[in-house]
């Protein structure tokens, strides 16, 4: 009877459990981060898809292979509808504000031909990389033509140079940087007047010793048919508030697909030693096709291999991952561009002609806020938030490191060691250990020294006591 | 206390190798059980080292630790070394018997234990900046071991210096050959087994 009833209880409990919907089931993708050991560990989801919009919903007719997306400082969404050669401007509520179909260029009516890149300055000037026409077009906020910038002209550029601008950014000083198709010399830089000033920030040439060996033993004819060692072209770019330029390279072999270029074109991206920002750590590596820089050195990169958005902080540590390839809301078919504005991330899908909006969850906003405080050096305030993050995700190593650093500042060395060990930060663990060691020695040095001296003295006395009778005995022996 | 005497003698070998290994061979002072004991103690030390060496220098993934691995990476190479050395030296006019080789190699392992244990303790109180001391001691242990192994091989087989070095290098090559043959053997056995099994399956399905 008792067994029967307990079985009944067990079955009913199991039934109830199986009926309860899993809360994570709401998202079409799983949240995860990478541990220090490079293992993917589950993590709560930081952003959830909230809504999506396509050309039909926007009332402009379906978008045809939209290539780029831009969110202006006021939160207006600029969609570059490449296939139809137009720009659609949406406001925050996703009502269509304007559609820029073409423009009056001097005498004639002009339009875009398969443009791929779009940038809007803080002043509201729209820059379009009009790819097939081989020019940049600058429009003002209402869509009135301002000027066009043609191919770069200089002695260093050969006669056979084909100019197909793909992406464009403009920094605070009005300098224009262009990513060209097949241009491996780096970004094409124009000054604010549209004069070509040079290339900047090339990728390094990559080859492995095996290739070099085969090249050195092959004949001239064979060599000509081989792949040349040329640096890879950039495929996308963004600029942060301090004027640093971020670039991405769609190369699955490199360990630095993301670069942060300073004004002289040198990569100054901070990279974590263990895991550089390369997306997924699998054999089939991520291919980054867009980058979006938000405040505090946080940047998001869009991976086309699995349709994921990876968010890294300024130290190159992975904060969270969202998105996936698929056919649900929140998954993509062929993602093309990522942008973020306040608490939302927007991803543009080229094949579906659709923008998906993701809004931040409680976990995501706590991570964002804690990271902001952390990177601005407010470790103690950050530590409070990190503790909250740990309640939701005990796998979150950055939180342990954050708390550990805060404890280290407060002088709680021993506890700091525990947290820094959990967060796998050897450098700061070692600092905490050094401080703890000194503190420990200060407290216990006298005790230990007293102990050691007591033991030595005691030993000496015992030895003397033991030895003396022997000596006498020996003397006696000698006498007898 | 014969056991204490054995320990005292093995320590004597570690610091006075020429003298020690000579006595080991010609005075029969080396004990096989002592050599195997040292090997066991080394395995234990290595297991302890993987787990308990200070966090600052410990780069082992705690979930990937497995004591069987230590057996695989210490006892197996030890036996392979002895086997390869014996097979080689019988062809190269070495005077050492297999037992002597095992004993010599076993006694030569002692410094690894002698240095590793204090090193593990030390590593728990050092910071990242002082970690080079840990690595220095680690390297010293290895050098000392190689030195003892060198002297041991030289004494046991009555070789000249140059011949000892050649022998030791060749031994490594022979170890490689043994591993290769072993893998080949297992691979072939596997093929035969799978062939026989396929034939059996074919017959049983038709019948």
A373-394 per-position pLDDT tens digit:
999 989 999 999 999 999 999 9
Q: Do A426 and B125 touch (CB under 8 A)?
A: no
Q: Which of A162-166, A176-180, A428-432, B2-6 has the lowest mean pLDDT?
A: B2-6
Instruction: Tell me which chain A residue has its CA closest to the CA of residue B60.
Output: A37
What are the two backbone dihedrals, phi and then psi, of residue B62, each rounded to the nearest 5 degrees? -55, -30
Q: Angle at Cα A469 formed by Cα A468 and Cα A473, nearest 5°? A: 120
What span, in angstroms and rounded, lies between the C-alpha atoms of B167 and B156?
A: 12
Q: Is the pLDDT of residue A167 over 90?
A: yes
pLDDT at A480: 47
> For residue A212, what pLDDT band results from cuts at 50, 70 and 90?
confident
* % pLDDT > 70, chain A: 93
Q: Does A414 lie at the interface with B, CB-CB under 8 angstroms? A: no
What are the two backbone dihedrals, phi and then psi, of residue A90, each rounded to the nearest 5 degrees? -115, 150
pLDDT tens sequence across B127-164: 999 999 999 999 999 999 999 999 999 999 999 999 99
Interface test with B, best of A430, A441, A445 (most B CBs within 10 A): A430
Averaged confidence pLDDT in chain B: 93
By Cβ distance, the residue of B61, B125, B128 closest to A427 is B128
Q: How far is A425 from chain B (nearest CA, A)?
A: 9
Q: Is the pLDDT of residue A293 over 90?
A: yes
Mean pLDDT of A329-357: 93
Q: How far is B128 from chain A (nearest CA, A)?
A: 5
First CA to last CA across chain A, in angstroms? 95
> For residue A20, what pLDDT band results from cuts at 50, 70 and 90?
low
Interface test with A, best of B52, B54, B56, B63 (most A CBs within 10 A): B56
Q: Is the pLDDT of residue A405 over 60?
A: yes
Q: Does A437 lie at the interface with B, CB-CB under 8 angstroms? A: yes
What are the start-end ranges of the H helices in chain B?
A: 2-15, 17-26, 32-52, 67-70, 76-91, 98-108, 110-123, 131-157, 161-206
B112-141 residues touching A, CB cutoff 8 A: 125, 127-129
pLDDT tens sequence across A130-139: 999 999 999 9
Q: Does B62 lie at the interface with A, CB-CB under 8 angstroms? A: no
Averaged confidence pLDDT in chain A: 88
pLDDT tens sequence across A230-241: 778 899 999 998
pLDDT tens sequence across B91-126: 988 888 999 999 999 999 999 999 999 999 999 999
Q: Which residues of A370-384 are buried (b: 16+ CB within 10 A; e: fewer)?
A: bbbbbbeeebebbbe
pLDDT tens sequence across A260-270: 999 888 999 99
The secondary element (H helix, E strand) that includes residue A341 is: strand A335-341
Instruction: Tell me which chain A residue has its CA closest to the CA of residue B61.
Output: A37
* Contact of A271 with A277, CB cutoff 8 Å: yes
Mean pLDDT of A322-336: 92
Interface test with A, best of B59, B121, B127, B133 (most A CBs within 10 A): B127
Residue B109 tokens read as 């392992």
pTM confidence score: 0.83
By Cβ distance, the residue of A37, A421, A433 closest to B127 is A433
pLDDT at A429: 94
Tell me whether 0.90 is exceeded by the ipTM. Answer: no
By Cβ distance, the residue of B55, B127, B128 closest to A421 is B55
Mean pLDDT of A285-313: 93
pLDDT at B99: 92
């Amino acid at each position: 009877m008792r067994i029967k009833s307990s079985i009944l209880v067990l079955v009913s409990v199991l039934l109830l459990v199986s009926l309860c919907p899993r809360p994570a089931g709401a998202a079409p993708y799983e949240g995860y981060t990478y541990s220090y050991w490079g293992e993917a560990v589950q993590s709560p989801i930081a952003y959830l898809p909230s809504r999506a919009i396509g050309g039909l919903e926007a009332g402009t007719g379906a978008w045809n292979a939209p290539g780029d997306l831009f969110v202006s400082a006021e939160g207006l969404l600029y969609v570059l509808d490449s296939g139809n050669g137009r720009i659609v401007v949406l406001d925050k509520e996703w009502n269509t504000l304007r559609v820029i179909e073409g423009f009056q260029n001097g005498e004639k009516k002009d339009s875009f031909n398969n443009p791929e890149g779009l940038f809007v300055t803080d002043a509201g000037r729209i820059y379009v990389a009009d790819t097939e026409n081989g020019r940049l077009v600058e429009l003002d906020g209402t869509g009135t033509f301002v000027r066009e910038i043609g191919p770069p002209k200089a002695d260093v550029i050969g006669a056979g140079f084909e100019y197909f601008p793909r992406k464009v950014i403009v920094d605070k000083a009005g300098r224009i940087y262009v990513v060209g198709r097949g241009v491996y010399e780096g970004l094409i830089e124009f000054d604010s007047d549209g004069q070509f000033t040079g290339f900047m920030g090339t990728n390094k040439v990559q080859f492995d010793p095996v290739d070099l060996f085969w090249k050195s033993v092959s004949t001239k004819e064979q060599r000509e048919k081989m792949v040349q060692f040329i640096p890879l072209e950039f495929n996308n770019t963004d600029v942060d508030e301090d004027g640093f330029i971020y670039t991405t390279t769609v190369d699955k072999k490199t360990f630095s697909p993301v670069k942060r270029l300073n004004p002289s074109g040198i990569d100054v991206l901070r990279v974590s030693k263990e895991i550089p920002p390369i997306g997924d750590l699998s054999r089939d590596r991520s291919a980054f096709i867009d980058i979006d820089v938000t405040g505090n050195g946080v940047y998001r990169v869009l991976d086309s291999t699995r349709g994921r958005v990876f968010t890294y902080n300024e130290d190159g540590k992975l904060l969270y991952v969202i998105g996936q390839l698929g056919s649900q809301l929140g998954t993509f078919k062929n993602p093309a561009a990522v942008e973020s504005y306040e608490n939302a991330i927007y991803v543009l899908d080229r094949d579906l002609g659709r923008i998906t909006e993701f809004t931040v969850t409680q976990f995501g906003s706590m991570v964002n806020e804690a990271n902001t405080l952390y990177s601005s050096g407010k470790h103690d305030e950050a530590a409070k938030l990190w503790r909250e993050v740990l309640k939701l995700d005990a796998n979150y190593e950055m939180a342990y490191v954050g708390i550990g650093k805060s404890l280290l500042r407060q002088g709680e060395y021993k506890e700091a060691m525990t947290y820094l060990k959990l967060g796998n930060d050897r450098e700061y663990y070692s600092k905490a250990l050094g401080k703890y060691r000194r503190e420990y020695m200060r407290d216990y040095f006298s005790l230990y020294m007293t102990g050691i001296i007591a033991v030595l003295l005691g030993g000496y006395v015992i030895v003397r006591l033991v030895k003396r009778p022997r000596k006498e005995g020996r003397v006696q022996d000698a006498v007898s | 206390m014969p056991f204490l005497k054995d320990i005292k003698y093995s320590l004597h070998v570690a610091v006075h190798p020429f003298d020690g290994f000579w006595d080991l061979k010609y005075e029969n002072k080396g004990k096989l059980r002592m050599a195997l004991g040292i090997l066991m103690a080394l395995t234990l030390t290595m297991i302890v080292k993987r787990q308990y060496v200070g966090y600052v220098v410990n780069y082992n993934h705690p979930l990937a630790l497995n004591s069987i691995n230590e057996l695989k990476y210490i006892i197996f190479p030890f036996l392979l070394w002895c086997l390869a050395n014996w097979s080689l030296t019988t062809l190269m006019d070495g005077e050492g018997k297999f037992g002597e080789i095992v004993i010599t190699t076993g006694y030569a392992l002692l410094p690894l234990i002698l240095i590793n244990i204090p090193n593990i303790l030390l590593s728990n109180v050092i910071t990242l900046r002082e970690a080079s001391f840990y690595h220095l001691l680690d390297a010293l242990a290895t050098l000392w071991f190689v030195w003892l192994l060198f002297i041991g091989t030289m004494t046991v087989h009555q070789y000249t210096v140059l011949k000892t070095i050649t022998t030791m290098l060749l031994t490594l090559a022979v170890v490689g050959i043994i591993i290769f043959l072993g893998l080949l053997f297992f691979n072939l056995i596997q093929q035969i087994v799978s062939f026989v099994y396929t034939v059996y399956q074919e017959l049983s399905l038709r019948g």
